[in-house]
Chain A
Amino acid sequence: MPRTPEDHFAQAAHRHYEDAVYLHDDGRLPNADHHYGFSVECALKSLLLRHLNATTAPYKPGGMPVPWPWTRDSSGKPKKHGHLPDLWSEVATLARGRSGNTLAAMLNSSTPFATWDVAHRYHGGPMLSSTTMNERKAAATQILTLHQQTLITGVLQ
């Protein structure tokens, strides 16, 4: 069983990915897309918590832990890390130093999730081309592979 928020995000990343592939293979594209987006989001949140100084601790002492990772911005204010596509560029900004370059290089190229929107889960069925789906699947695969390597090597790739 996962014990920490980052372990929960790590497991959820894989669950979303597997469900996305299952739905994608069956041609059920809108929900497949929804899960690809969440698999990337969960993997990035796991990395944020493990390697990029994010936390789910309470914003103020004595408060409640929050269900999302957050960091402090340059003025010291808490910055919540939410959904794609913003999360993609937020993590790209935080990845620096000798490690983290593979992730930074990956995230600094244009995101195939630019038009992905968490609100699409309420839509009747967004139009998704097979090219878009394949690009999103490829990006999710790449990020989950990097996430796996980071867990094994102990260093952000």
Chain B
Amino acid sequence: MTPSGGIVRFDDARPIALAIAREAVTEGLDGVLIRDVLGRFCLALDDRHRELPEEAVARWRAELTERLGLYAAPNTILRASELFAAEAVFDSPRILDEPELAGHFGPGRIRTLDNTVVGEDWSHVTIPSPLESGIQTARVALYGFKGGVGRSTAAYMLGKHLADRGWCVLVVDLDLESPGSGALLLNEEAAPQYGLVDHLVEFALRNAEGLDLVERASGVSITGNGELWVAPARGRGSGNAPYAYVDKLNRVYSDAVGGALPSFADRLECAVSACGMAVAERSRQPDVILLDSRAGIHDIAAIAISRLCDLALLFGSDNSQTWQGYGDLFAAWRSSGQAEAIREKLRMVASMVPDKRRADYLGTFRDHAWTCFSVLYDDLPPGDMSGFNPSPEDTAAPHYPIPILFSLDLVGLDGAANPGWSEQTFAQAAYEEFLDTAMRLITEGLQ
């Protein structure tokens, strides 16, 4: 396996390192294959309870150094016995099982530790734990790989639809870099004093108690006894001092693993919980929390989808950027061993369906989505029903699109200047199927 031209590039390095690590598995060794932030590899071997086969280790060291080129770490073989604190490496909670180093290669166990600057949360998929009260809250992330796909408007429509049917709903605006749903649901003067960004900053100093973070949606009339609350990214400020949004935003992503400050993901989870508790204190516990996640391959999206939600609605229109983007994301989930955990959380939304070509458009969308999702589905021979491999036509499958019809009336809509827009025919027609399907998916576990 010699890369073309003899120059090792980022993508070439991983298969080389995995091939050598597999030899260590075959030899029965335990250890960790580590990739540093520059993409360089080293193999840490555990010699605390058994001796290493020195000849093989010397060969691996030479091979890693020679074949990885610039992607060889300065020291390609680390031994536990020579590390200052071996447990910090070998017992790291960030270590993952690597499908390509699975047990069938031999009796050893080599796992992987990938050090990145951002985005680590994509590879740690979990289901949110129930709130302390034990009452169930459905948590739903709305995500679009590309912006401008109607995600925030859909959050508004879905929030109102659920509230009109009696549910208590909280919409949290996680799009810190370009706040959207907060502004759509709240007049500026009706916003709470503080926003999510304040909780993230204050929590770092253990100063987040008592922040005013949520408010009832303004200018939205709810029928029945449902409620619609909003936690905006940005507050209106206390009035005592200028509200320095950018100064705060520039500090919120600090991550201090093992230090005094909880990680950004932990703090974001606490901030969302605090918003939920604030609604509970003022009225009742939300039945549904809608997380308006920001677009792109960004840490906030990673945390919202991988960790904070039970259901992630993935918005997109049928074009190559959408499928390439989701394809990259799904490939990363697969290679970090997360396919099984993530796939049943996901559901595709076709967010800009042209009304006149609806059937054709959705058919093509579905086929493209299925191709894209297939990297997350099990590889099964035809007829084998044992795993998870839904057909393109399976209407309950993650790839099967929930449609939102494209309407020119929705483009550039200023909700504040057009009260009652969501009740108008164009809006109801565009969102009808989306609202029915999404509500069923969200509330079926709450009954």
Contacts and interface: CB of A to CB of B under 8 A. Distances in A.
Q: Which of A104, A147, A149, A155 has the most CB of B within 10 A?
A: A149
Q: Is the interface of B mostly helix, strand, loop or mixed?
A: loop
A98 B118 contact: yes
Contacts, number: 67
A83 interface: no
For the side of the interface on A, what is the size category? 20 to 34
Nearest to B261: A105
Contacts of B36: 152-155
Interface stretch (B84-92, B176-184, B390-398): B84-92
Interface string A133-153: 000000001001101110011
B259 A106 contact: yes
Given A148-B85, A148-B88, A102 B259 contact: yes
A153 B83 contact: no
Contacts of B246: none
A144 B88 CA distance: 11
A104 B261 CA distance: 10
B260 interface: yes
Interface in B151-206: none
Nearest to B34: A152
Nearest to B32: A152
B253 interface: yes
Interface residues of B, number: 26
Given A98-B117, A106-B259, A144 B84 contact: yes
A102 B117 contact: no
A154 B38 CA distance: 7
B260 to A, nearest CB: 4
Nearest to A3: B74
A155 B81 CA distance: 23
Contacts of B256: 101-102, 104-105
Contacts of B34: 152-153
A53 interface: no
Contacts of B73: 152, 154
A30 B121 CA distance: 46
A149 B73 CA distance: 13
A108 B259 CA distance: 11
A96 to B, nearest CB: 9
Interface in B33-63: 34, 36-38, 40, 42, 44
A141 B258 CA distance: 14
Q: Which of A14, A103, A106, A153 has the most CB of B within 10 A?
A: A153
Contact of B115 (A145, A147, A155): A155
Closest 7 CB pairs of A and B: A154-B36, A105-B259, A101-B256, A102-B259, A153-B115, A105-B260, A145-B85
Interface of A: 14, 17, 98-99, 101-106, 108-109, 141, 144-145, 147-149, 152-155, 157
Given A101-B255, A145-B85, A149-B89, 18 more contacts: A98-B253, A101-B256, A102-B257, A102-B258, A102-B259, A103-B259, A104-B259, A106-B260, A108-B260, A109-B260, A144-B85, A148-B84, A148-B89, A152-B36, A152-B42, A154-B40, A157-B258, A157-B259
